[in-house]
Each structure stands twice: as structure tokens, then as C-alpha cells.
Chains A and B, each alone.
Chain A
Amino acid sequence: MTLIFACEVVLAGLLLAIATWTIVARTAFAAIVLFMVYGLLLAIVWVALSAVDVALTEAAIGGGVTSMLLMGAATRLRAPKTPVADVGLPLKIAAGLLCALVTTVLGAVVFFLPDVAPTLAPLAKDNLAASGLGNPVAAVLFVFRALDTLLEKVVLLLALVGVWSLASDEAWGGVPGLPVYARPGPILVFLAQILPPIGIIVGIYMFWAGATQPGGAFQGGTILAAVWLLTMMARLQDLPAINARWLRLLLVVGPTAFLAIGLAGFFIADSFLAYPPGIAKPLIIVVEATLTLSIGVTLALLVAGPPERLPQR
């Protein structure tokens, strides 16, 4: 057993322990903090699996904004008048048996996997030069399976519209109810002044480098969203009204550019979402740049939630 494998065993054990603790923790607050730790550990596991793009995404979205979102929810929920009754023991036993069965079946699938695995890596590698990019994962996301990414952007926007629709009629078009600090402490204010410039540079670099190295629009956009949320929570910036024109334009500029270039592919290349051979990389960079902005704004607004009050005049 090599040293690296021993480390991976320890990592896997730690991951399972934290996951178990997350499920059985008594308070929601503890569970969310543990989930944050779980997300960051999982990012390390992804690096161990040689999937660095996924590790970046998991750290940013899984361990970052999801935890932010859940924590905001936990602070906003009022405790019910009658305490929540625990589910009965028979249901717990039945569920435990079912889940043990599922785990065993999946474990058996992993155990009996054949030695040689079917893979699309050679196909992707062969077509990488034709795609114009150097990062194979980015090539799959924006060239080979670009329709998935386009639909995924639409899914993000629709989720945002859905979240907004949960507002009350009077507050429509107003300011989201993201929990912000009433009196932000000096340390928080200091962090919220220092981190955003660094975050912006890191986010933009991550999108830029994503063409040839691990990174990309999603990871960079999430960092932009996170630092924006930080400034808003520390009350260095006001939350925007969701009807603000600049906000709406930033939201749609990414998917619109993506869709426009995709539709242009009917005429200047030979298919929807195809890129003409010479200018594939610049076009993809334009798409990724606008998507980074849009994803940043969309993710931040998803965390901020539905509008709750009209903007003060």
C-alpha cells in the first residue's frame, strides 16, 4: 500500500464520517457547517480522481454558495410552535435496510466492473485540436456537448424566475431578502474590502485560463458571485432591485451571446452550435466571458432569494 493510497483511504474515511455526521447532526446549523466541510473535502477527492475542473466547481458551488444558501435559509426559518416529531423507529429501520441494500448493490457494481473500461477520452483527444481549445473538459462543455451547457444556462435562469415568483405581489420588482448583518463587525468589513478585488482577479483569471488549463466560466463566475454576496452581506453595497435594467442585462448577456453564436452557426459554420474553424477559440472566449458575468449574477441572485421589500427611494 503506497503512501498516496494510504492518504486516500484516510481521506475517504474522513469524508464518510463527516457525511454521516451531517445526516445525524441534531441542529440544522451544525449540519450546514459540517456540509461546508464535506464540500471542501470532496473537492480534494476530485483532485485525487484527476478531475481538477470538477474539484474547482465542487469547492466553489458545492462547498461555497450552497452552504451560503442553506445558512441563509436556516437563519430565516422560524421555529414551529410544536416541536418537530421524529419519524418512528419502524420507518427508520425500513429506510436503513433499503439504503443498505442500495449501497450494497452499488458497491457490487463497482466491485464487478471489468478491467478495461469504455471511454471517450481518445475520441475527445483526437478532436481537441479541431475544437480550438486546450482543455478537454472545456471542449466537451462548450464544443462537443454545447447543447447541454446552453440548456443548463436556461435551467439556471428559469430557477431564478421561479425563485422570484415566490415573492409576495406587493414586493414584486423589489429588493431580495438576503440576510445581511445589522451591524457588521470590523473584521467582516475588513474582509469584505480586501477579498473582492482578489476574488475578481482570481475569477477572471480562472475563466481565462480555463481554455487551456483546468478552470472555466462556471468556476470563475461562482467566485465573482461569492465576493459580490460578501460585499452585500457586510453592507458595503446595497442589494439591487430585481427590476434594475443593468441587472437584467447582465443576466441575459451570457446566454444571449451563446445562443446568438450558436444560431449564427447555421450560416457561418455548418450546424447549430458549430464554430467556423479559424475563429473557434475567439468565439468561445467571447461566449465564456459573457457567461462568466451572467453566471456570477445568476448565482448571487439565486442565493439572495425572492424580493421582499420595495427599494427605498
Chain B
Amino acid sequence: MSSAALFGYCGAVLVGLGLYGLITRAEVLRKILSFNVLGSGVFLLFGVFARRGAAAGLGADPVPQALVITGIVVAFSATALAVALLVRLNKETGQIIVTPDDSEESGEQGATR
């Protein structure tokens, strides 16, 4: 097994872990964390393909590396927006989860802006 393949399996497990956390954790902050783990697993897969593409004296294919850098920055801004939304949601409703059905909410936080 080459080291690229090893980290490829690692990335596959991380994708599964992140997806599991995203689905099963009820709190939004934990969902955002799991999304970050999932994203890093996908980037790791990109990295595996970069490492396998080593040629012409370069240690790894530079194109996937650039894509991963862009992806990391975009994922961070997604996290920032999601977190700001969550803090606002918490300020308005006192909740840290999103419920599928509005009618289940307790009525105390019903004030609109």
C-alpha cells in the first residue's frame, strides 16, 4: 500500500464520519463541525489524486492542490456564514437546533421583529 492509498482510505473514512455527524447530531454547531470534517475528507481525496499525479519532477500535481486551497477558503466562509446565522437564530429563538416542523416550537419566543 502506498502512502497515497493509505490517506485515501483515511479520507474515505473521514467522509463517512462527517456525513454521520451531519445527519445524527441535532445541534447545528455540531452539524457545522461535522460538515468541516466531511469537507476535509473530500479535500484529502483530492490530495491523494494530487500525490498520485507526481510527475515531471514535482512532488504532487499542482492543480488539485490549488483546488484544495480554494476549497478550504470557501469552506471557511461557509462556516462563518452558518455560524453567524446560528448565533442570530439563537438570539431570536433561544434554540440551537432547527426543527422540521414549526408548530412544535414552544410559543414563548414567538416575537417577530
Nearest B residue (CB) for A97: B20
A-B residue pairs in contact (CB < 8 Å), sample of 22? A15-B14, A16-B17, A20-B17, A31-B33, A42-B44, A49-B7, A50-B51, A57-B69, A62-B40, A70-B79, A77-B90, A77-B96, A81-B94, A84-B97, A121-B60, A122-B55, A124-B56, A139-B62, A152-B74, A156-B73, A166-B85, A303-B80
- Could you tell me the distance between the alpha carbons of A49 and B70 in the complex, rounded to whole angstroms? 18
Determine if A5 and B3 form an interchain contact, defined as CB atoms under 8 angstroms apart: yes
Question: Beta-carbon contacts of A112-152 to B below 8 Å, as 1s and 0s?
Answer: 01000111111011100000000011011100110011001
Which of A15, A42, A82, A162 is close to B106, meaning CB atoms less than 8 Å apart? A82
Chain A interface size band reads: 35 or more
* Known A-B contacts A12-B6, A61-B73, A106-B45; A119 and B25 likewise in contact (beta carbons under 8 Å): no
Determine if B17 and A299 form an interchain contact, defined as CB atoms under 8 angstroms apart: no
Determine if A8 and B70 form an interchain contact, defined as CB atoms under 8 angstroms apart: no
- Could you tell me the distance between the alpha carbons of A45 and B97 in the complex, rounded to whole angstroms? 33
**Which residue, of A15, A78, A110, A124, has the highest number of chain B Cβ atoms within 10 A?**
A110
* Known A-B contacts A45-B10, A110-B9; A91 and B24 likewise in contact (beta carbons under 8 Å): yes
Distance between B65 CB and nearest chain A CB, rounded to angstroms: 5
Question: Beta-carbon contacts of B44-82 to A below 8 Å, as 1s and 0s?
Answer: 110111111111111111110111111011101111110
Instruction: In the A-B complex, list the 4 residue pairs whose CB atoms are closest, starting with the nearest.
Output: A119-B53, A50-B59, A103-B16, A110-B8
- How many residues belonging to B are interface residues under a CB distance threshold of 8 Å? 80
* Known A-B contacts A110-B9, A110-B48; A95 and B37 likewise in contact (beta carbons under 8 Å): no
Distance between B70 CB and nearest chain A CB, rounded to angstroms: 5
Within 8 A of B (CB), among A62-101: 62, 65-66, 69-70, 72-74, 76-82, 84-87, 91-92, 95-96, 98-100
Determine if A84 and B26 form an interchain contact, defined as CB atoms under 8 angstroms apart: yes
Could you list which residues of chain A lie within 8 angstroms of chain B, going by C-beta atoms?
4-5, 8-9, 12, 15-16, 19-20, 22-23, 28, 31-32, 35, 38-39, 42, 45-46, 48-51, 53-54, 57-58, 61-62, 65-66, 69-70, 72-74, 76-82, 84-87, 91-92, 95-96, 98-100, 102-104, 106-107, 109-111, 113, 117-122, 124-126, 136-137, 139-141, 144-145, 148-149, 152, 155-156, 159-160, 162-163, 166, 168, 216, 218, 299, 302-303, 305-306
- Could you tell me the distance between the alpha carbons of A124 and B67 in the complex, rounded to whole angstroms? 14
Determine if A53 and B83 form an interchain contact, defined as CB atoms under 8 angstroms apart: no
Contacts of A76 in B (CB 8 A): 87, 90
Determine if A28 and B30 form an interchain contact, defined as CB atoms under 8 angstroms apart: yes
